[in-house]
Amino acid sequence: MEFTPIDKLNLDERIIKILKKKGIEKLNPVQTDAVNSGLLEGKRLLVTSPTGSGKTLIAELGIISHLLSNGGKAVYITPLKALTAEKYNELKDWEELGFKVGMTSGDYDSDDAWLKNYDIIVSTYEKIDSLWRHNPSWLSEVDYFVLDEFHYLNDEERGPVVESVAIRAKRKNLLALSATISNYEKIANWLNAIPVTTNWRPVPLREGVIVEGKKSYQVIFPDETIEIKGNDPIIAYTLYVLEHGGQVLVFRNSRKMAESTAKKISSSMGLLSLPDKELLKVGEEIKNVEDAGSDEKEELYELVVRGVAFHHAGLSKGLREIIERAFRERKIKVIVATPTLAAGVNLPARAVIIGDFHRFNRKILGYQEEIPIMEYKQMAGRAGRPGFDKEGEAVIVVRNKKEAEKVFKKYILSPPEPIESRLGNESAFYSFLLGIISSEKKISEDDLEDYAMDTLLDKDVAEKYVKRGITWLRDNEFIAGDDELVLTKFGKRVADLYINPFTAKVFKDYLTKSDKSCNIAYLHLVAYTPDGPTVSVTRSELEELVDEAPCPLFIEEPEDEDEFYNYVSALKVAMIINDWIEEVDEDVILGRYGIGSGDLRSIIDTMDWLTYSGYNVAKVLDLKEHYDVLYTLNLRVKDGVKEELLDLVKIQGVGRKRARILYNHGIKKPEDVVMNVDKVKSLLGQKIGEKIAKEAARLIAGNA
Angle, to 10 degrees, between the axis of helix 294-304 and the axis of helix 317-328? 10
| Geometric angle at alpha carbon 423, from 419 and 427, rounded to 5° | 145
- What is the C-alpha to C-alpha distance for residues 527 and 616, in angstroms, rounded to an integer? 16
3 state SS of 169:
helix
DSSP letter for 643, please.
G
d(C-alpha 74, C-alpha 118), whole Å: 9
Closest CA to 337 of 317, 326, 353: 353
**Phi, psi angles (nearest 5°) of residue 672:** -65, -35
Rounded to the nearest 5°, which phi and psi values hold at 127?
-65, -45
Q: Binding residue per annotation — 218?
A: no
Rounded CA separation 545/647 (Å): 33
CA separation, residue 468 to residues 255, 445, 449, 638, 663 (Å): 41, 12, 12, 37, 55
Q: Please report which helix (H) or strand (E) contains residue 250, including its range.
A: strand 248-251
The whole-angstrom distance between residue 272's C-alpha and the CA centroid of its chain comes to 35
* 293 neighbors 270 (Cβ within 8 angstroms): no
Give the single-character DSSP code of 409. I
CB atoms closer than 10 angstroms to residue 71: 10
Burial class from Cβ neighbours inside 10 Å (0-12, 13-18, 19+) for residue 277 reads exposed
Of 119, 99, 73, nearest to 14 by C-alpha is 99
Residues 6+ apart with CB under 8 A from 23: none
Mind spelling out the 3-state secondary structure of 594-626? CCCHHHHHHHHHHHHHHHHHHHHHHHHCCCHHH
Nearest by Cα to 511 from 524, 495, 500, 492: 524
Contacts of 600 (CB under 8 A, 6+ apart): 576, 580, 586, 589, 590
**DSSP-derived 3-state class of residue 98:** coil
- Give the integer Cα–Cα distance in Å for 300 and 208: 30
> C-alpha distances in angstroms, 138 versus 111, 117, 338?
9, 9, 39
Distance CA 551, CA 605 (A): 25
Burial class (CB in 10 A: 0-12, 13-18, 19+), 364: exposed
Going through 321-468 in order, the beta strands assigned E by DSSP cover 334-337, 351-354, 358-360, 368-370, 392-397, 442-443
**Within a 13 Å sphere around the CA of 396, how many CA atoms are in the beta-carbon half?**
29
Binding residue ranges: 31
Residues in the annotated binding site for ATP:
31
